[in-house]
Each structure stands twice: as C-alpha cells, then as structure tokens.
Chain A
Amino acid sequence: MVTPPLTPVSDEHVRAVVRRHLHPETGSPFWLERDRRLGTNGYSTVDSWAAAQELLAFRDEADQEIFEEASRRRPVEDFIPADVVRDNDFLWAAQTGGTTGLPKHGTWGGKYWKHVSDFSHYAMDTHGIPRGVNWLYISPMGPHTIGRLVVDWAESRGGMCFSIDLDPRIVKIFGEEGMAAAYERYVRHIWDQVNAVLESQRIGVLYGTARLLEMLPEYVDPKLLKDVRGVVHAGTTMPVLSHRLLREDVFPDVPILGMYGSSTTSISWQKPFEPEDEHGLVYIPSSPWVTLDLVDDAATPVAYGEEGRVRVWRLTDDQLLPGFLERDRARRVEPYGKAADLFPWPWIGDPYSPEFTEGRRVEGVY
C-alpha cells in the first residue's frame, strides 16, 4: 500500500513554521507586527502545537478582521518570511473567491504545492481516478487556485486539461440583483462551451462544481459522456441524494471524488467511499499543513457528530494562518472505516457555506 503523504500535526512542525514566520530578521512583516502589538513574543514562547493554539490563535473577530483587511490591501510579501520569498521555487499568488467582498490575497509556495499535489494524487489513485486521460475542467480559472491546481494534476497524470471558465462573482451579482435572465443566459453559455469540448475532444475525467454536476444531465447528451471514467467535484455542498444519484444513475461504475477546499482552507479530499457513509461527503484535512477545527460560538471545538464553524490553521513556510474562522460550517466526524488509522485526526462532514443556502438566493453555479 502507498503511504499517505499526511501526518498529524507535530510540535516539531509547528515550532519550525512559527519560528520561520516570527524570526526577528527574516520573519513575515505582518505577523511580526502582530506579535509586537500583542506582546506575544511567539518566536521564543511557541514551542508546541498546544502553545501555538494558546498564544497565536486569533483572539477575536476584531483581531481576525485586521488580518483579513491587511490581506486585501497589503502586498502578499508582507505575509511571507523573506527567506521563503527568496528560496521557494515559485509562489502562486492566490485569491479568495471574492464572493464576500474584495478578494483576499495569499500564496501557495512551491513546497506546499508539492505537498498538496502528493496528497491529491494519492487521493485520486485511491479512489480510482484514471491516469493518462484528458480532463475537462468546468470551474473558476483566472485568479482561482483550483484552476491552476487542476491543470497541474491533469498534466502530471498524463493528460491535457481542457477548461471552461466560470466567474462566480458575476453569478453572485446576478443573484443579488434579481437578474434571472442574465443568470439563465450565463448558464446556457457555460453548457454551450462544455458541449463543444465534449463533442470534439476525448475527455476521461470531468471536474466541476457540485452545482454544475447536478445540472449536467439536463444539458449534456449522455452519449457525450461515454468516455468519462472519473469525476471530481468541489464548490458548494453536494446533497446526499444528489451524490447517490450521480453515482448510481448518471455515472454508474465511475469513481466520483469530492474535494472541499478554498484558497484559505486548502484541500481536503473525500475519504474512501464506503457504504457506511450513506452517501454523505466526509473529507480528510491535509494535516499537518492545514488543520480544520469545527467550533461553536465560543470558539470551542464541538463534539463528534455536531455541526460547527470551520476554523483553519495553515502551517506552511509561506503562509501562517492561526485559527482563521471561515464562513463555512460542517459536521465534526470521528475517523472511521478503512482510512481511520491512516488519518487519525478529526474529519469534516457535509461542509456548506450558509450564504449559498440561506433563503436559496445565491445558489448560482458554484
């Protein structure tokens, strides 16, 4: 069996990352400023994962908001240690989706990229997503990290990546401003492009948002999907029933793999599919570079089985994110089944973004 490229968060890993970001001479300007402002002296005091959680975590919403606004307005280099800027083989300039205001900026450095890539190939191989075939990507490209990631995956797995761009920001505007006709037209535009690619190219893996995959059988002739041997989805949550119908009716005997992630939360891959999942989607966070807690209103982790708000720790050379409270919510899942021993840290189940579901006003294509 291939060893999974993930490990639990260790004190040693935390210590190394924190010291890099808070190094008095080469640390990240923003985090050094915060360290001085709060009087934490993290370089000396944070020597373990527990100490990081106690001393470094965002103290409250105001503390987090200072970071968020800075990530919208300041150069990304202010959040990266100087030696990482100098030494990394590349730094991908990532943007958040921008569906909650001006986009925030961050980076995915070359080393981190490789970690994510290793985990992604492991997950895809485990689930049976084929190698050596072309992909069709129907999701946001442009500034969105996932676009570049998928091109990378397709190419490194021996295929080419055809793509249809999506702009979730304009779709949000259509929804909020009641531009139903424009939304309908945009959706048709997407599917016209999809059909054109499917009619002319050999596509073996389909990547799309959960919402688009739910629409797919309405807009695409099943004959055009005959060569599809793998499906990967992300974006907003996929309902249990839709997941079952996709597996059983739309793509029988084709592996379907879910991914939860964003520029902030990184990538969590769906655990190996097992009957006891009951078609719920359960994801494994990519520890130790990213950990995902689920917390209640008092920022205390919720019990297994309970729903909470996603809190992110990013612990990589190029980015530090100390307990960032995401808008998303999910269920805390105790590891179970075949993968429990391989990934013995809390998993998350059926994540969703409340603003995409409340009142169902902004469903869009994402």
Chain B
Amino acid sequence: MTRENLVSLPLATATDQLPAVPSWAGAEPIWSGRPVELLGCRGELAATVDHASRLAQQQMVARAKAVDLLSIPDDEWFGLFRRAADIVEKHVESGALDSQLAALASTCALPVRRASRGILAVVGQMRYLDEIMAAQSPDGTTGPYRTGHSGHNWSWLPAGRTAMVRVPANFPTIAIEWLQVLASRRAALVSTSRHDPFVAAIFVEALYEAGLPDGAVSISHDNAETFHRLADQVVWPGENYPPGLDPTRLKLYHFGRSKAVLPTDPGDDAWTRLTRLAFQGCGRLCTNVSSIAVSWSAEQAAERLAAEFAEFPVLPLADPAANVPAFTDPADWDAVARMIEREIAAGAEDVTARVTGVPLRVELDGTRFLRPTVLRVRSDSPLVRMELPFPFVTVTEVPRAELADTCRESLIVSLPGDDPELLRELVAEPSISKVFHGEGFDRGYDPRDPQEGYLADFLFQKKPVLPHREGDPAW
C-alpha cells in the first residue's frame, strides 16, 4: 500500500458506507435482521455487526466437526493460506477495504495507518505459516499435523476436533493466533471481541475465497457462550476467562508484562530501540516493554527514555504519522488515567510531564488519549507488574542482585549488552517465557518462537497407540 492511499483513509465512516459485518457459519456469511450497532471512539455509529444466536453457534460447531482438513496435501493446504494472503493484500491496496479499515481504526481507537499495517503484517505471516507450524511439530515438518506420525514410538494426535479462539481487539496482528489453530488442521471457532469484528471477518472471507473447506472456520462476534460450552478446546487471551470454562481444556495466551533490565546505561541506539519496542503495535502488544529495571540511576534512565518518547506526540488517528492509540470507552480511559494519577500522588514521578509539559489526558477531535508516558516508580509499585493499553513504561531502580527477581512473571525480558551472569539468572527463572539479549534484545514477536510454549503443545497430545504395526495409520 502506498503512503498516499493510507493517508486518504478517513477515520469517520460515512453513513452510506457503513460496514455491515456478518457472522460466518462456515463459508456462509450470516446477517441477522437486527444487527448490533458498533460505536467508534467519538461515539459515532461505525458499523453494524451480526450477532450469532446460540443455535447459529451450534450450527457452526456442527460444521466444524464435520469438516475434513486432513486429506488436503501440505502444499495445497499452505498454498491456500498464501492465496488468502494475496487476496487480503490486494483488497487493502485497491481500497476495497477502506470503509472497514476506517471503522476498525475508530472502534479500536487505533491510528488508521497502523491498523492497516497490522493487517498487512498478518498477510506477511500467512505466507510462511508452513514454517511457523513446522517449528512446532515433533519432527520439524508440517507432516505430523496431517498424519499424526511423530517419528517416535508415539502418535501426535489432536486433543479434540474443534478449538475456539477468543480474539482481543488490541491490534490486528493478534489474528495470527487463530490462523495457527486453523493451520494445524483444527477447525477453528473464532470469537471476536466487541470492538473488533473486522479483522477476523476480512481474513475468513479471503480464506473461503481461496478455497478453504466449508466449516473449517466460523466466526461469532462478541458473545460466544455456545462455543465456550461445545468447543473441545478454548484459547483465551489474558488471565480473566469466563466462569464455567473447564481449565483442562483451556489455554490462556499472551498476557505480557514484558520488561527490560539494564545493569548499565545501554547507549543511545539502545534507547531508540527500546522506545520502538514500547511503541510496536501502538503499545497494545504483549511484547511491548512495559517496565524497565535498572541497577544504576532510574532518574537518568527515565529521562533518556522520556526524551525518546517525546518524539511520538499524540496526533489525530487519521494522521499518517500517528502512533499513539486512543480509548474507545471513556470509562476505560478514566480508569487507566486514574491508576497512573494515584501512583503519582503516592510519589511516582511523571518524567514525561517534566520533559514535555504535555498533560497525561489529551482530548483531540473528540477522541480521548493518554499521552505516551514514562513513569519513575518504586520497585514495589503495582504498575511495575502491569501492562497498560498504550505506550507506557515504568522505570524503577533496584539493586543488581534483585534485577532478575523484579522480572518474574514476564512474557519477554530484554537484556541489552553482555552480562552472562544476569542472563543465567533470567534464563533460570521459570516464570519468564522468553529472554532476548545482546544484539537481539528487541527481537519482539516472531511466531516461529515458542511463546509460553508452542500453541501446538496445547492443541496436540503425545499418545502411544500400541502395539504399533508397520503400515498402521497413526490414528
């Protein structure tokens, strides 16, 4: 997509172009007679969205159970995802999705250009889904997903026939989660969150256009109670999942609280890269650095970071240079702001306020923002172990001996520079999922990396079916 046509996307949606987003019962789009109205971040009507009834969801589950995804050869299977990627890319570039992208940006309070780029990032990942899936399989190839043959004395079998994936509205790139489920040849039941029905619908439509068998994926927007009950497995974002879900068939994914540890000042280039890490995905990703622990001067570190943050001002969401997300729900905006303001009242320093003079709460064109913020806090501040949905980083000073302990329960810990002793401590900490260090400290997210393990570890089980005779099917 060229910069020019990205710029041309307006945030507000004209009424006559109001997107109507269907549910998908397999390859069949469903528009109910009385769709739900979805409001944008300025309170405007942004789209109408179908709401699949429980019976419709049951139909989706039935179709998912009936579909055969194992008989498709690997080349054809992954070629299908590449064709779908081409379709989406073409639609984005031609402007065919402009009204949906504008609505998506508004309902998710994302800069328009960033939302579009998020979708294109998923397009890119779909082109090497075979590599992503091969990395997770027992023999390093895509074959076991189709055959169950592990190359060992056990079979690699799906732990169920259907999997529901709840997709949060943080940022479009999160779509890679349900795409992996589908790519593993598991029928996927996608449950979108209220603010983003668009991204899943865009990709599902393209997948069926590319030849995906009917029933391989279905979408229920917002509520999907029937999926919760009937899906064999459930993949749920964050840590707060609906009551009644059986923990044995539930995987929680992608809560972040990613951090960086700086035993020494890492130098100018590292500060720029750390800032980029905080702004990736508009600061809405689990991989964003949300807290930095230093064993030298937190005051100096916070000033360095705040100076870099100042390069990313709050801009209208339609501005092509915008990187800062807004808030759709005024109550969420107020709640997050109050959390920070309470911490400041308790002694934390809003370093960004000192460096830029810009207030925390910013309202622009009727849209509510929190400006990118660096907050210097004590190590016992609750914000050290939180991630907030915009570029926000706490900086705290702790003795070197406590650096690793400060990073407990983090998805990613970044360690710029060379510190083998600290690296060993971080690697040994079981509640840290990934450690990136040295030159690769800002590697961020690569779906080929394990992240809280591999998704395939949850979707499949090692099951000996013995005695195994030559020529027997794996399952």
Residues of A within 8 A of B (CB): 180-181, 184, 211, 214-215, 217-218, 237, 239-242, 245-246, 249-250, 280, 350, 352, 357, 359-360, 363
Contacts and interface: CB of A to CB of B under 8 A. Distances in A.
B244 A239 contact: no
Given A181-B244, A218-B230, A240-B32, A360 B55 contact: no
A64 to B, nearest CB: 26
Given A218-B230, A360-B222, A250 B34 contact: no
B243 A181 contact: yes
A95 B412 CA distance: 59
B357 interface: no
Contacts of B272: none
7 contacts: A218-B54, A218-B58, A218-B226, A240-B33, A241-B53, A352-B34, A357-B34
Contact of A180 (B54, B59, B242): B242
Given A180-B242, A217-B58, A246-B55, A239 B222 contact: no
B59 A360 contact: no
B229 interface: yes
Contacts of A357: 34, 36
A215 B54 contact: yes
Interface string B23-59: 0000000101110100000000000000101111011
Nearest to B62: A249
Contacts of B242: 180, 184
B223 interface: yes
A239 B36 contact: no
A246 B56 CA distance: 10
Contacts, number: 57
Contact of A241 (B30, B226, B244): B30
A350 B33 CA distance: 9
B27 to A, nearest CB: 15
Contacts of A360: 36, 51, 222-223
B226 to A, nearest CB: 6
Name the residue in B34, B36, B55 with the highest tally of chain A Cβ atoms < 10 Å from its Cβ: B55
A249 B33 CA distance: 20
Interface string B202-241: 0000000000000000000011001001100000000000
B53 A214 contact: yes
Contacts of A250: 55
A273 B57 CA distance: 25
Contacts of A352: 34
Interface in B165-203: none
A184 B54 contact: no
Name the residue in A352, A357, A360 with the highest tally of chain B Cβ atoms < 10 Å from its Cβ: A360
Interface of B: 30, 32-34, 36, 51, 53-56, 58-59, 222-223, 226, 229-230, 242-244
Given A184-B244, A352-B34, A357-B34, A245 B55 contact: yes
B33 A242 contact: no
A350 B59 contact: no
B37 to A, nearest CB: 9
B243 A217 contact: no
A239 B243 contact: no
Given A184-B244, A360-B222, A242 B53 contact: yes
Contacts of B223: 360, 363
B230 A239 contact: no
Nearest to B221: A360
A237 B59 CA distance: 19
A115 to B, nearest CB: 32
Contacts of A246: 55
A215 B244 CA distance: 16
B245 to A, nearest CB: 10
Nearest to B244: A184
B36 A241 contact: no
A184 B243 contact: yes
Contacts of A237: 34
B231 to A, nearest CB: 12
A242 B222 contact: no
Closest 4 CB pairs of A and B: A181-B243, A214-B54, A242-B55, A242-B53
Contacts of A363: 223
B34 A242 contact: no
A245 B244 contact: no
A257 B229 CA distance: 28
Contact of B32 (A211, A217, A239, A249): A239
Contacts of A180: 242-243
Nearest to A188: B244
A164 to B, nearest CB: 18
B164 to A, nearest CB: 14
Contacts of B243: 180-181, 184
A184 B226 CA distance: 12
Contacts of B33: 239-240, 280, 350
Contacts of A359: 36
A249 B243 CA distance: 29
Nearest to A329: B34
Name the residue in A181, A214, A241 with the highest tally of chain B Cβ atoms < 10 Å from its Cβ: A241
Given A240-B33, A241-B53, 12 more contacts: A180-B242, A211-B54, A218-B58, A239-B34, A240-B32, A241-B56, A249-B59, A280-B33, A357-B34, A360-B36, A360-B222, A363-B223
A249 B62 CA distance: 11
Name the residue in A184, A250, A363 with the highest tally of chain B Cβ atoms < 10 Å from its Cβ: A184
Given A180-B243, A249-B59, A241 B32 contact: yes
A241 B58 CA distance: 12
A239 B229 CA distance: 21
A282 B230 CA distance: 32
A180 B244 CA distance: 9
A242 B36 contact: no
A280 B54 CA distance: 17
